[in-house]
Amino acid sequence: MSDSMIVFDNVSKSYQDGIDAISEVNIRIDRGEFVFIIGNSGAGKSTLIKLILKELDPTTGKIYVNGRFLNRLRHSKTPLLRRDIGVVFQDFRLLNDRSVYDNVAFAQKVIEAPTSKIKRRVTAMLALVGLAERYKSYPGELSGGEKQRVAIARALVNNPPILLADEPTGNLDAGNSWEIMKLLEEINKRGTTVIVVTHDREIVNAMKKRVITIHNGKVVSDEEGGYEYEN
Amino acid sequence: MKISSFLYCLKQGFKSLHKHKLFTLASVGTIAACIFLISMFYALMSNFQYIVKQFEDQFCIQVYFDEGISDAEIEAIKEKIGARAEVSDIIYTSAEEAWETFKEQYFTEDNMDLAEGFDDDNPLANSASFSIYLNDINMQDAMVEYLEDIDGVRSVKAAQTAATTMSDFAKLIGYISGVIIIVLYAVSIFLISNTITIAISVRSEEIGIMKLIGASDAFVRTPFVVEGVVIGLVGAAIPLIGIYYIYSKVITYMLSEYQALSTNIQFYSVGEVFKTLIPLGLLVGVGIGFIGSRITLRRHLRV
**B149: helix, coil or strand?**
coil
Is A97 within 8 Å of chain B by CB?
yes
| Nearest CA-CA distance, residue B220 and chain A, Å | 9
Q: What's the rounded Cα separation, in Å, for the pair A135 and A121?
A: 13
Q: Is the pLDDT score of B63 beyond 90?
A: no
- Over residues B75-107, the pLDDT tens digits come to 888 888 888 888 888 888 887 787 777 777 777
Residues B297 and B182 both lie in one domain: yes
Number of H helices, E strands in chain B: 11, 4
Counting Cβ atoms within 10 Å, is residue B109 exposed (0-12), middle (13-18) or buried (19+)?
A: exposed
User: Same domain, yes or no, for B122 and B150?
Assistant: yes
Q: What pLDDT sits at residue B51?
A: 81
Interface of A with B in 164-223 (CB under 8 A): none
Question: Which chain A residue has the Cα nearest residue B220?
Answer: A110
- Per-residue pLDDT band for B303 (boundaries 50, 70, 90) equals low
Sequence-separated (6 or more) residues with CB below 8 Å from residue B25: none
Statement: residue B302 has pLDDT above 70: no
Question: Residue A230: what pLDDT?
Answer: 52
Q: Determine contact: A117 vs chain B, CB below 8 A.
A: no
Q: Of B219, B239, B216, B223, which Cα lies nearest the Cα of B285?
A: B239
pLDDT over 90, % of chain A: 61
Q: How far is CA B206 from CA A21, A158, A162, A185, in A?
A: 27, 18, 22, 28
Q: Is the pTM of this model over 0.80?
A: no
For B44, phi then psi, to 5°, come to -65, -45
Calculate the average pLDDT of chain A: 90
Same domain, B175 and B294: yes
Last residue within a domain, chosen from B158, B176, B203: B158
A90, A175, B251, B298 from B213: Cα distances, Å: 16, 28, 58, 18
Q: Is the pLDDT of residue B118 over 80?
A: no
Cα separation, B12 vs A184, in Å, equals 32
Report yes or no: B118 and B31 within 8 Å, Cβ to Cβ.
Answer: no
DSSP strand pairing (A60-65 vs A4-14): antiparallel
Measured in angstroms, the CA of A83 and the nearest CA of chain B are apart by 5
Clarify whether residues B196 and B248 are in a common domain. yes
Q: Check CB contact under 8 Å for B205 and A107.
A: no
Instruction: List, in order, residues 6 or more apart from A197 with CB less than 8 Å away.
Output: A36, A37, A38, A45, A48, A49, A164, A165, A166, A167
- Which of A53, A79, A154 has the CB atom closest to B216's CB atom? A79
Nearest to A115 among B4, B208, B215 (CB): B4
B206-233 pLDDT, tens digit per residue, is 888 888 888 888 888 888 888 888 988 9
CB A34 within 8 A of CB A194: yes
pLDDT tens-digit series, residues A158-169: 989 999 999 888
Inter-chain touch A112–B210, beta carbons under 8 Å: no
Chain A interface test: which of B5, B209, B211, B213 (most A C-beta within 10 Å):
B213
Residues B69 and B105 in one domain: yes
Answer whether A103 touches B (CB < 8 Å): no
Q: Note down the domain range covering B82.
A: 60-158
Rg of the Cα atoms in chain A: 17
pLDDT bin (cut points 50, 70, 90) of residue A7 is: very high
Across the interface, do A93 and B209 touch by the CB < 8 Å criterion?
yes
Residue B137 has pLDDT above 70, yes or no: yes
Percent of residues, chain A, with pLDDT higher than 70: 97
pLDDT band at A66 (very low <50, low <70, confident <90, very high): very high
Task: Give the pLDDT score at B141.
Answer: 81
Q: What is the CATH number of the domain that holds B68?
A: 3.30.70.3040
CA distance B208 to chain A (A): 9
Boundary (domain end) residue, out of B140, B158, B176: B158
Q: Assess whether B176 and B276 both reside in one domain.
A: yes
Average pLDDT over residues B28-57: 83
Based on the domain organization, do B102 and B206 belong to the same domain? no
Contacts of A20 (CB under 8 A, 6+ apart): A12, A13, A14, A217
Same domain, B250 and B123: no
In this prediction, residue B5 carries a pLDDT of: 80
Q: Do B209 and A97 touch (CB under 8 A)?
A: no
| Co-location of B81 and B227 in the same domain | no
Q: Hey, are the CB atoms on A110 and B210 less than 8 Å from each other?
A: yes
Q: Coil, helix or strand for B269?
A: coil
In chain B, the number of structural domains is 2
Yes or no: say if A130 and A149 are a contact pair by the CB < 8 Å rule: yes
| B211 and B87, same domain (yes or no) | no
The answer to whether the beta carbons of residues B285 and B233 sit under 8 Å apart is yes
Which of B134, B158, B182 is the endpoint of a domain? Answer: B158
User: Cβ of A70: how many Cβ atoms within 10 Å?
Assistant: 23
Which pLDDT band holds residue A63 (cuts at 50, 70, 90)? very high
Nearest Cβ partner for A112 among B2, B208, B217? B2
**Could you tell me if B32 and B126 lie in one domain?**
no
Q: How confident is the model at residue A120 (pLDDT cuts 50, 70, 90)?
A: very high
Question: How does DSSP assign A11-47, residue by residue?
Answer: EEEE-TTS-EEEEEEEEEEETT-EEEEE--TTSSHHH
Domains of chain A and CATH, by start? 4-84+160-225 (3.40.50.300)
Looking at residue A136, what is its pLDDT?
Answer: 94
CA distance B193 to chain A (A): 24
pLDDT score recorded for residue B119: 66
* Residue in B with minimal Cα distance to A77: B216
CB of A138 less than 8 A from some CB of B? no
Looking at residue A231, its pLDDT comes to 45
Q: What is the mean pLDDT of residues B128-154?
A: 84
d(CA A133, CA B47): 68
Among the partner-chain residues A55, A79, A114, the one whose CB lies closest to the CB of B215 is A79
ipTM of the complex: 0.81
Compute the radius of gyration of chain B from its Cα atoms. Answer: 31
| Structure-model confidence comparison of residues B22 and B138, the more confident one | B22
Tell me: do B178 and B248 sit in the same domain: yes
CB contact under 8 A, B302 and A106: no
Chosen from B205, B212, B220 to mutate, greatest number of chain A CBs within 10 A? B212
Mean pLDDT estimate for chain B: 81
pLDDT of the residue at B161: 63
pLDDT band for B296, please (50, 70, 90 cuts): confident
Buried b (16+ CB within 10 A) or exposed e, A183-204: bbeebbeeebbbbbbbbbeebb
